[in-house]
Amino acid sequence: MMKTFFQNAWNNIRRIFGLHSNSKYVRDYLNEANVRSGVFMSAIIFVLEIWLLIRQTNKYIIPTMTDPSNTNSLFKVVFLNTSNFWLLLSFGVTMFFACLGYKKINGNKKKLISILIPAAISLAFCALMPFEFIYSKRPIVGVPLYLLISLYASIALFNIFVIIFSVYHYRGGKKNYIPTVVTISLFALVCLSFGMKVSYGDFSSVRTIDGQLVPNPDYKQIICFLMMAMYVGCLLIWKPYVSIAIIGSIFIGFYLLLEYTVSPRKFPEGDLVNYITFLISLTMICISIYVQRVNEAEKDEELEYLATKDPLTDLMSFEYFTSTVNKVIKEDTVKKNEWVFLFVDVVGFKVINDQKGYLKGNEFLIKIGELLREIFGGYISRQADDHYALFTENIDIENKVQILNEKIKEYEPIVRPDVKFGAYTFVKKEEPSREGVEKARYAYTEARNKSLGDISFYDEKMHDQYRLNQYVVRHIDEAIESNYLKPYYQPVVASKDKKLIGAEVLVRWIDPKYGMLSPVVFVPQLENARLIHKLDIAMLRNACKHLREEIDAGNKPLALSINFSRMDFITVDIVSMIEEVVNEYQIDKDLLHIEITESALMDDQDKLKYAIDRLHKFGYKVWLDDFGSGYSSFNVLKDFSFDVLKLDMAFLSSFGSNPKAKTIIGSVVEMAKTLGIGTLCEGVETKEQADFLSSIGVERLQGYLYGKPEPYEAYTSRQK
């Protein structure tokens, strides 16, 4: 425990003094923060120097030039009283625009000129340095030569450096943080040189008292050095131990300079205490600013990581992938037909999860990401689960796919999963990257459905189908509002006497652009887009409307069954929506049966059980559609409560040639009777099938033998 305490204490000390290693993100953050500080500090210098110029002009220049006894030229008067302020003003303006142009100067002439002009003016002021000596000849020169030279040299060096690197960056030179560090360091050097010059001159100034030269008791401008030192402390925020070393050296050096080179003055003890106190305070400020900035940078880095990276594979997040690729495309850094979007799916990943557990499954997904980086390169994202999206150069793609599959089988020799690809060649700059991935995904889906191999390229035929699919998703609301979705009714008869007892409500999309659309075209697309509930509720509303018309006309309508998609129970509260529509039209619950496909039971079973219980509570009969279509089959009868089983037409597909079919159908019907569940068989096309189903006790029949799906008017004519 003590070891942990001391370890934590040591880690905190290392963090406070910057002895730890920062990530590149944090280093860049600190660098940009220093640049922002440079903008503010240079703006302060600009405002301060303008104020001092106005003050000096009113206090010295105007009175001197209006004095009849004055024999000095205007240039000399202005230079003696304001030269330092003009010098600092031009220097501050140069720093201001240099920081504003940080990372944004590439090819931008306006930004380049805005930096070069003040830098050139500042250099011109440095060229006036000789006048400092010509006009300052006195019995005692207040400022040593080396301080004057240091000030002018540091300003000249700063401006030359800014000019060189501004031109370099303008011409597309590589950007890194070193020029910025040097620029800010030179800025700090100028500030310190100026502070030393002013404070030293004031500290060493003398007065004539009783005919003797004595130190000036009213020196006040030591504050100039302290202010400039504070500038440096607020600017040089990289590592506290560096800042402490720099600031400590500056303060000790300047103290020694004043204490041992200025005679006969000595540093007053009270001022020395304040001097040391200021040094300690400035050191604490540097540490505080550093720790605060590092904390902010680490938080931002974490947020940026979560926004831009997939936490498992460290690949791009899909949102960041799409935005990055969009930028790359707009910047014309990639050429049409030379790059390709890829959608990647791992076939067999579920087996790995089931056999080896989720940890091994995650390791496998990480390995896939590493191999995609190694083999394909470019921009890579894990879109979701075991799906990946790539934007990469269109070079030898099919061979790369083969190499990837070989390496994956080497990595996982027992399960031997396959990786399937869909590809879409980048051809339209205006096309969003998300749409490029969707087209690649569509190509993959077509390849998977038709067993076309490991990769399928998006082609013109797919493009026509893709456009139709997109049309469906984007126009579902219009189709509902404009009544393009028509309910079609397929008759259901009683098996004993073949009398009409109801119908299943099916849907057809009669579109003004594409004509009659089959449910095979639009239902899967609406399910994938999680919009199928709009269609299903629209069909329910149409059915309720027709039932209400029959009731209001004094007729006794037959019951209707309506199929609801599995996605309805996942995406919305479909039970409440059903109840709302039925209550709106005041339809008796016995006239509506709710069909749920067997495939829906493979999703959230608890959620679906709750939905079925609510439907029963509201008074609806719930039918299980497509029973025996290859999912959980008999287990669903154990776990769920249904009123009717609709036997899938697949049971009748081999009715005449496979004797097992009759045995299986008979067993299912007998089991349903034992459980108290009604039965309906769909897909009845021959009298032989109908007779057999009647003989084994199937209660309801549906199929082309009794009628195809037909419009409402044709269906109601059967009842007359």
Distance of CA 437 to the CA centre of its chain: 16
Burial 647-672 (b: 16+ CB within 10 A, else e): bbbebbeebeeeeebbeebbebbeeb
Q: How many Å is the Cα radius of gyration of the chain?
A: 42
Q: What is the pLDDT of residue 58?
A: 92
Q: What is the pLDDT of residue 208?
A: 47
Q: What is the pLDDT of residue 138?
A: 44
**515 vs 522: CA distance, rounded Å:** 13
Q: What is the pLDDT of residue 14?
A: 75
N-to-C CA span, the chain: 90
**595 vs 502: CA distance, rounded Å:** 14
What length is written for the chain?
Answer: 720
Q: What is the pLDDT of residue 509?
A: 94
Secondary structure letter of residue 710 according to DSSP: B
- Write the CB contacts of 238 (distance below 8 Å, at least 6 apart in sequence): 18, 30, 34, 181, 290
* Token representation of residue 691: 């007779």
Secondary structure letter of residue 412 according to DSSP: S
Asked if residue 623 lies in contact with residue 645, where contact means CB atoms within 8 angstroms, the answer is yes
Looking at the chain, the number of H-run helices and the number of E-run strands are 26, 16
Q: What is the pLDDT of residue 145?
A: 73
3-state helix, strand, coil in the chain (%, to 5): 60, 15, 25
**171 vs 163: CA distance, rounded Å:** 12
pLDDT in tens, 14-64: 777 767 777 888 888 888 888 888 888 888 888 988 998 998 899 888 988
Asked if residue 546 lies in contact with residue 578, where contact means CB atoms within 8 angstroms, the answer is no
Question: Which residues, listed in sequence order, are joined to residue 423 by a DSSP beta bridge?
Answer: 342, 457
Nearest to 289 by CA among 239, 352, 363: 239
**668 vs 690: CA distance, rounded Å:** 16
- Angle, helix 24-56 to helix 178-203, in steps of 10 degrees: 40
* Token representation of residue 197: 């010059």
Q: Tokens 């998300």 — which residue?
A: 434
Secondary structure letter of residue 602 according to DSSP: G
pLDDT in tens, 254-309: 777 766 665 555 666 666 777 777 778 777 877 787 888 888 888 887 887 777 88
Asked if residue 616 lies in contact with residue 644, where contact means CB atoms within 8 angstroms, the answer is no
**185 vs 195: CA distance, rounded Å:** 15
Asked if residue 593 lies in contact with residue 560, where contact means CB atoms within 8 angstroms, the answer is yes
Q: What is the pLDDT of residue 415?
A: 83
**467 vs 650: CA distance, rounded Å:** 32
Q: What is the mean pLDDT of each run of 10 residues along the chain (720 residues)?
A: 67 73 80 82 87 89 88 86 87 86 77 88 86 62 69 87 84 72 80 73 54 49 66 68 76 72 60 74 78 83 81 90 89 82 89 84 91 93 91 92 91 87 85 87 79 80 83 92 94 92 94 90 88 94 94 92 90 94 94 84 76 93 81 68 85 70 85 91 90 91 92 83
